[in-house]
């Protein structure tokens, strides 16, 4: 996530976004996961020379990153989004919000249901065998850094340490997600649903199960023919509704969930039954393009005495 707290610090990004062509390039990378320069030029009906200048501006701003891969006709420059979320504070806040933040390893699920294709791995090795859901109950699952399943769900317990004079203001969850296809498929839509305490919040459609370019943090032994990275998503639930990356996905609010300081909080990521089921992959530390586990943030207000 790129978080601009002061407008002056974001000038390079604002300049990069001032071009319609550069915005179109970002849209292409968002839809396809990654593209080489030739692909981008062909899709925009521009020459490679014209595209190169725009790519350089986007790379300098930090909005995209470039890696080199060996292709049929020599080395190719592969472009992909460096970050999936851009937030801008137009007004400095006088006070810092009260919040707790927890980092939850993707293998620390408290409940699951998995159907093939499925599996999990630590930073060192696969856990058990591919497509055998029994290994999701193996004690080693707590060390998993990547988990994939075609159907089912993963559920996580979120700590609740609010005090008697505090009340929930917003829940935030950040995670790197993609679909799940055999091997990988960059065009493989999947509706991934989110729940708090079994209340459905809404869904986000993952465009694909991304591969072809090695994930930045994947261990060296991770096979190149498997999926490589996901997209970083931010789920927010407050008193106005539920949002993914700032876009409303439902009108479910914190009041609908009914949380208090004694509440158990369970976050579930699940595949739908009557929609696009293209699986779920969740990336933690040592995998994908973001070196993070699930980040859970609880923002709260202090009640007036």
Is residue 42 domain-shared with residue 115, that is, in the same domain? no
Answer yes or no: is pLDDT of 96 > 60. Answer: no
- Mean pLDDT confidence for 145-163: 97
pTM for this model (two decimals) = 0.73
Per-residue model confidence (pLDDT) at position 71? 67
Is residue 35 domain-shared with residue 107, that is, in the same domain? no
- Mean pLDDT confidence for 194-218: 95
Q: Check which CATH number belongs to the domain holding 141 and give it.
A: 2.60.120.260
Query: Which of 59, 86, 113 is the C-terminal boundary of a domain?
Result: 86
Is residue 78 domain-shared with residue 215, that is, in the same domain? no
Is residue 153 domain-shared with residue 275, that is, in the same domain? yes
Among residues 283, 289, 248, the alpha carbon closest in space to that of 1 is found at: 289
166 to 196, 238, 242: CA distances (angstroms)? 20, 15, 21
Is residue 79 domain-shared with residue 101, that is, in the same domain? no
Is residue 102 domain-shared with residue 63, that is, in the same domain? no
182, 148 contact by CB (below 8 A) = no
Confidence category of residue 5, pLDDT binned at 50, 70, 90: low
Confidence category of residue 95, pLDDT binned at 50, 70, 90: very low
Domain-embedded: residue 118: yes
Which stretch of 57-61, 62-66, 87-91, 118-122 has the lowest confidence by average pLDDT? 87-91
Query: Which of 86, 118, 149 is the C-terminal boundary of a domain?
Result: 86
Is residue 61 domain-shared with residue 101, that is, in the same domain? no
Query: Which of 66, 86, 106 is the C-terminal boundary of a domain?
Result: 86
pLDDT, tens digit, for every residue of 220-250? 999 999 999 999 999 999 999 999 999 999 9
pLDDT, tens digit, for every residue of 17-33? 999 999 999 999 988 88
Which stretch of 7-16, 89-98, 133-142 has the lowest confidence by average pLDDT? 89-98
Is residue 133 domain-shared with residue 214, that is, in the same domain? yes
Average pLDDT, the chain: 91
How many percent of the chain have pLDDT more than 70?
A: 93
Is residue 228 domain-shared with residue 271, that is, in the same domain? yes
Confidence category of residue 12, pLDDT binned at 50, 70, 90: confident
Which stretch of 4-8, 11-15, 62-66 has the lowest confidence by average pLDDT? 4-8
Domain-embedded: residue 91: no
Domain-embedded: residue 92: no
Domain-embedded: residue 191: yes
46, 37 contact by CB (below 8 A) = no
Domain-embedded: residue 249: yes
Alpha-carbon distance of 257 to 167, in angstroms, equals: 13
Among residues 175, 176, 246, 173, the alpha carbon closest in space to that of 33 is found at: 176
Is residue 16 domain-shared with residue 158, that is, in the same domain? no
Q: How many helices (H) and strands (E) does the chain have?
A: 5, 17
Is residue 149 domain-shared with residue 250, that is, in the same domain? yes
Is residue 40 domain-shared with residue 110, that is, in the same domain? no
Answer yes or no: is pLDDT of 94 > 60. Answer: no
Q: Which domain holds residue 22?
A: 2-86
Q: Check which CATH number belongs to the domain holding 39 and give it.
A: 1.10.10.10
**How many domains would you assign to the chain?**
2
Per-residue model confidence (pLDDT) at position 277? 79
Q: For the CA atoms of 206, 294, 230, 144, what is the dihedral angle to 10 degrees?
A: -120
Domain-embedded: residue 120: yes
Answer yes or no: is pLDDT of 79 > 80. Answer: yes
Domain-embedded: residue 285: yes
């Amino acid at each position: 996530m790129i978080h601009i707290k002061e407008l002056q610090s974001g000038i390079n990004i604002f300049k990069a976004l001032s071009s319609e062509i550069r915005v179109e390039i970002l849209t292409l990378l968002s839809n396809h996961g990654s593209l080489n320069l030739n692909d981008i030029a062909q899709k925009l009906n521009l020459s490679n020379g014209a595209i190169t200048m725009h790519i350089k501006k986007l790379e300098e701003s930090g909005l995209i990153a470039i890696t080199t891969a060996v292709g049929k006709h020599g080395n190719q420059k592969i472009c992909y989004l460096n970050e999936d979320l851009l937030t801008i504070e137009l007004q400095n806040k006088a006070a810092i919000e009260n919040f707790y933040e927890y980092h939850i390893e993707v293998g620390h699920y408290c409940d699951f249901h998995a159907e093939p294709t499925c599996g999990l791995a630590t930073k060192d090795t696969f856990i058990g065998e591919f497509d055998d859901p029994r290994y999701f109950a193996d004690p080693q699952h707590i060390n998993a850094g990547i988990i994939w399943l075609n159907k089912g769900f993963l559920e996580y317990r979120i700590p609740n340490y609010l005090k008697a004079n505090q009340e929930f203001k917003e829940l935030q969850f950040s995670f790197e997600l993609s679909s799940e296809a055999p091997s990988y498929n960059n065009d493989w839509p999947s509706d991934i649903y989110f729940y708090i305490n079994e209340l459905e919040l809404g869904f986000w459609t993952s465009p694909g199960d991304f591969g072809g370019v090695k994930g930045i943090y994947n261990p060296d032994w991770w096979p190149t023919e498997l999926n490589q990275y996901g997209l970083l998503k931010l789920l927010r639930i407050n008193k106005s509704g539920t949002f993914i990356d700032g876009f409303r996905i439902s009108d479910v609010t914190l009041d609908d969930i009914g949380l208090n300081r004694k509440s158990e909080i369970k976050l579930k990521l699940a595949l739908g039954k009557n929609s696009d089921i293209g699986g779920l992959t969740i990336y933690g530390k040592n995998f994908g393009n973001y070196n993070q586990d699930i980040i859970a943030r609880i923002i709260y207000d202090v009640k007036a005495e």
